[in-house]
């Protein structure tokens, strides 16, 4: 092992020890509510909870836009995790709000994911490095509205440390990571528009569902859109597209018919 790899290994060991210490300190004896998205970070969190010897009950919060392959992976490798049904489908929420979710208006996360675990200590795999909106996340925070304490043991971890841990401790992860860097709701607005186009092409059924929902949205008298396709183009930030993106979108449209 060369010097750089040895240093990485030593630093990872310190990260693991600190995470285990934090889990033991903040998790009550009766157990913690572990949010498992079936993604790589959740896999690391689940393994750390096991190493810490703390009691947890895992929960996956469906949104109606979850990749089918991810659900199958979760059922195979995390059979004890409870798959929670959404309180409403994403499409119903879009029609209720009068607009699809945006980077700065993610009502979907608040309603479908963050409303769980009331009165509990809740463990998440959230990391600051993931996005600008998560830069302010702390190791421990409180949600007075739901009376829960949120613990983020991986908040300071880098993506390199996540993958080093996965390979060191043989943590299973979805094959979708061979194609996508991050997993979540299909066509999530947080993702770069080219990633969303790529997802639309891979999962045309979900693209069609979005388009039908947008058709209903555009049919309302108070909207400025003429068609569901116009909503989709706006939502996918058409103003940033290059020629190849336009061609890809036309291909997706044809394939969805």
**pLDDT by residue (tens digit) across 102-151?**
988 889 988 888 889 999 999 999 998 876 666 778 889 999 988 999 99
Q: What is the pLDDT of residue 20?
A: 96
Q: What is the pLDDT of residue 216?
A: 95
115 and 11 both lie in a single domain: yes
Where the chain has pLDDT below 50, the residues are: none
| Entry pTM | 0.91
With a CB cutoff of 8 Å and minimum separation 6, the contacts of 133 are 103, 190
> What residue numbers bound the domain in which 154 lies?
3-178
Query: How confident is the model at residue 4, as a pLDDT?
Result: 55
- Residue 255 confidence (pLDDT): 83
Mark which of 132, 149, 178 sits at the end of a domain: 178
Same domain, 91 and 152: yes
What does the alpha-carbon distance between residue 72 and residue 45 come to, in Å, rounded to a whole number?
A: 20
pLDDT computed for residue 1 by the predictor:
53
In a domain, 187, yes or no: no
d(CA 38, CA 40): 7
Give the model's pLDDT for residue 138: 87
- pLDDT at residue 132, rounded to an integer: 63
When divided into structural domains, the chain yields a total of 2
């Amino acid at each position: 092992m060369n010097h750089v790899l040895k240093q990485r290994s030593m630093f990872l060991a310190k990260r693991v020890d600190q995470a285990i210490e934090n889990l033991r300190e903040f998790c009550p004896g009766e157990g913690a509510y572990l949010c498992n998205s079936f993604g790589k970070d959740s896999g690391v969190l689940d393994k750390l909870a096991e190493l810490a010897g703390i009691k947890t009950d895992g929960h996956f919060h469906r949104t109606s836009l979850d990749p089918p392959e991810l659900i199958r992976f979760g059922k195979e490798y995390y059979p004890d995790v409870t798959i929670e049904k959404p309180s409403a489908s994403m499409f119903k929420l879009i029609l209720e709000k009068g607009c699809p979710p945006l980077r700065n208006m993610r009502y979907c996360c608040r309603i479908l994911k963050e409303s769980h675990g009331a009165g509990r200590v809740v463990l998440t795999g959230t990391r600051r490095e993931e996005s600008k909106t998560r830069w302010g996340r702390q190791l421990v925070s409180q949600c007075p509205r739901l009376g829960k304490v949120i613990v983020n043991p991986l908040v300071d971890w880098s993506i390199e440390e996540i993958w080093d841990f996965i390979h060191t401790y043989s943590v299973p992860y979805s094959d979708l990571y061979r194609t996508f860097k991050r997993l979540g709701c299909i066509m999530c607005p947080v993702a770069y528009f080219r990633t969303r186009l790529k997802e639309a092409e891979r999962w045309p059924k979900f693209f069609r569902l979005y388009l039908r929902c947008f058709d209903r949205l555009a049919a309302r008298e108070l909207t400025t859109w003429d068609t569901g396709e116009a909503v989709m183009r706006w939502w996918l930030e058409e103003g940033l597209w290059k020629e190849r993106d336009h061609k890809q979108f036309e291909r997706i449209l044809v394939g969805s018919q």
